[in-house]
Amino acid sequence: MFELANYIKLNTFTDLALMIFTGMAMGRLVKKVKLPNVTGYLVAGLILGPSILGVLSADFLSAISVISDCALGFIAFSIGNEFKISFFKRVGVTPIIIAILESFFAVVVVAGVLIPVTGNLRFSLVLASIAAATAPAATIMVIKQYKAKGPVTETLLSVVALDDATALIMYSVATAIAGALSGKAASAAKLVLAPTKEIFGAIIVGAVLGFIFLLPLKFFKKDSNRTALEVGFIFLGLGVSQLFGFSSLLLCMALGAIVANFSSDVGKLMDISDRITPPVFMLFFVASGASLNISVLPSVGIAGAVYIVFRVAGKMAGSSLGAAICKADKNIRKYLGPALMPQAGVAIGLSLAAGTAFPEYAEQIRAVILCATLIYELVGPGVAKICLKKAGEIKE
């Protein structure tokens, strides 16, 4: 395969600059066809990555993974700021019920179709267990770009925030059943205990860091000092999550939620975040696009097609049912489900974990999830924009 990197030798800084300039150019280009900027960033990465031009090598993308971790930390922190007690007093348990049902239906619907199609119960359960995961990053970028506001946007932010926890729970239950069917009782027990630690450890430690964060905020009033504090605590949260195996997304969400509920300066902190994060987010999405692998498309087969189509169908059915049960706004019932399409980091991580626990299915599961990620990440942001616009929450 032709790789431009074999002919033009660049270094880390020139590669990063190229990522930013190409991301900006493609972001502007896709706006001409009314697509979100994030789609342009992903396409820019796809062009620069190993699948097409090969300017950005797999080794380089691995070396700059800290940028992706950093971006996800800030995204999770901003999502946490939506978890205000006043919001839940107003809407009740609606987002929680919707998050549980859309995750549950995604797994059940995919498994229900895969089992008769493949004839393999264990493989179907393991692959379907990953269907609950949703990627919050692309959705958040669409909301920020178009300044979307309204009940669908509020509920969407809450649901994608809860999805990390519900996805881990659904994964642990489904893979535990698959493990028990294969006689892997010890593995099944481990699969249940590990997500419990990952979820509750992250929430507890994130909350503790949030309360600690509040202390220096009383003494440091300048924006420059608060910028340093915010970056420092998000980095600390990411570091602790890596040290102890906690979910970095949930930990930083918990950190943000504590600040949102117990600090009167949360608005200023979010303004600071919005000023410093745009280039980090752009690099993150360009790197994500570069990591997408076109070569997996021919290998996914019927199982991949079922997963890609029926995961979305399950999320739409579950979110619509949850909204109906809670008597939520009619636009939530209609438009929330399709906006939950994006899937990336958490799903890829779960596919690796599933491959380790069930090595006989590792190659096929990874191919399906990588292919699904490619399609969902490229199509999902545009679908989210359309849904929010039809709900009347994006103004021209």
> Residue ranges of the alpha helices (H) in the chain?
12-31, 37-48, 58-63, 65-80, 85-91, 94-118, 121-128, 136-146, 151-181, 185-217, 223-244, 248-262, 266-276, 278-291, 301-325, 330-339, 345-357, 362-390
- Range from 8-12, 90-94, 100-104 carrying the lowest mean pLDDT: 8-12
Within a domain: 97: yes
Whether the per-residue pLDDT at 14 is higher than 50: the answer is yes
**pTM confidence score:** 0.76
What is the pLDDT at residue 183? Answer: 62
Within a domain: 244: yes
> Which amino acid is residue 314, in one-letter code?
G
Q: Which residue did the predictor score with more confidence, 311 or 182?
A: 311
Whether the per-residue pLDDT at 239 is higher than 90: the answer is yes
Q: Report the half-sphere exposure of 254 (CA within 13 A, side-chain side).
A: 24
Within a domain: 395: no
pLDDT-derived band at 184, boundaries 50, 70, 90: low
What are phi and psi for residue 70, nearest 5 degrees? -65, -45
Which among 77, 127, 39 is positioned nearest to 260, based on CA atoms? 77
Within a domain: 310: yes
Q: Which two tokens stand for residue 57?
A: 């090598």
The residue range of the domain holding 314 is: 4-390
Whether the per-residue pLDDT at 1 is higher than 50: the answer is no
Please state the rounded mean pLDDT for residues 327-338: 87
Within a domain: 182: yes
CB of 327 closer than 8 Å to CB of 115: no
Counted domains in the chain: 1
Whether the per-residue pLDDT at 196 is higher than 80: the answer is no
What is the pLDDT at residue 213? Answer: 93
Residues belonging to the chain = 396
Please state the rounded mean pLDDT for residues 23-31: 88
Within a domain: 396: no
Computed over every residue of the chain, the mean pLDDT equals: 82
pLDDT tens for 344-363 read: 767 776 776 777 778 888 77
Please state the rounded mean pLDDT for residues 317-321: 91
CATH number at residue 52: 1.20.1530.20
pLDDT tens for 290-312 read: 877 777 667 677 888 888 899 99
Within a domain: 268: yes
> Which amino acid is residue 323, in one-letter code?
A
Q: Which two tokens stand for residue 107?
A: 């797994």
Does an H or E element contain 7, and which?
none
Q: What is the Cα–Cα distance from 161 to 140, expressed in whole angstroms?
A: 10
Q: What is the Cα–Cα distance from 202 to 248, expressed in whole angstroms?
A: 7
